[in-house]
Amino acid sequence: MGRGATTRPPEPPLPDWLRARLLHVGPELLVLDKPSGMPVSARSGESLEHWLPALRMGKRRDPQPAHRLDADTAGCLVLGRTAPMLARLNALFAERRVGKLYWAILRGTLRGEHGTVDAPLRKVSTAASGWRMQVHAAGDPARTAWRILGRAPGLTFVELRPETGRTHQLRVHCAHLGAPILGDAMYGGGPGSLHLLAREIALPLDPPIRVAAPVPGHMRDALAACSSPG
């Protein structure tokens, strides 16, 4: 080995629980069913970043997320396995060409069967309660289409299609409608696990890729109560 050469750390084994969460494996990208409660990145504690070397699976570089999901949101997360594909995915997300569909259980009821929330969002912060997002006329444009899929006493099962990708957009927009997402303590949904799933992702590639994530365990009872398709 020549002077100055470095060796790449060996690829760690891919644990069974992570292998089981691979929804799509291609030569240039992965789609992972991210667990609820796991941040994509974190300054301390376990995050998806910790497991990226195990997801290398023969590649020279670790895959990298092409977008973000909140730590408590479960479901489809796209990772680029090569630099060209990661750049292409980043452009698709920036241009809003990726189809994103979410399922959520709301704490409360909505009028009508479908609609669109067009409410700009801005970040606010206080020393007492930290930061959060709020609807404000001076915020960044944010739009979310919604459609009801089922109901139960005090609960509503909805499909959400964000047309923009603002931080906490779906959570704040649902609260703005008067029915926050169940388990979203920050925005009025009460304690417990966040009932929000990145259900489906559609990538306009050649050929197109469409992937759906399974319903996580903590959402199954509420979905069953709402007579969901499961």
- Per residue in 106-115, pLDDT (tens digit) is 999 998 999 9
On whether the CB atoms of residues 197 and 215 are closer than 8 A, the answer is yes
Mean pLDDT of the chain: 93
Label residue 202 exposed, middle or buried (CB < 10 Å: 0-12, 13-18, 19+): middle
- Per residue in 130-186, pLDDT (tens digit) is 889 999 999 999 999 999 999 999 999 999 999 999 999 999 999 999 999 999 999
pLDDT of residue 228: 45
Record: fold of 16-225: Pseudouridine synthase (3.30.2350)
* Catalytic residue from among 16, 33, 62, 70: 70
Amino acid at 125: S
What's the pTM value of the predicted model, to 2 decimals? Answer: 0.91
* pLDDT above 80 (res 84): yes
Give the separation between CA 223 and CA 214, rounded to whole angstroms. 12
List beta partners, residue 106: 156, 181
Distances 166 to 16, 51, 68, 119, 122 between C-alpha atoms, Å: 33, 26, 10, 11, 9
CA-closest candidate to residue 157, choices 205, 227, 204: 227
221 flagged as catalytic: no
Give the separation between CA 76 and CA 213, rounded to whole angstroms. 6
Token pair 């002077």 is found at 3
CA-closest candidate to residue 58, choices 24, 11, 101, 9: 11
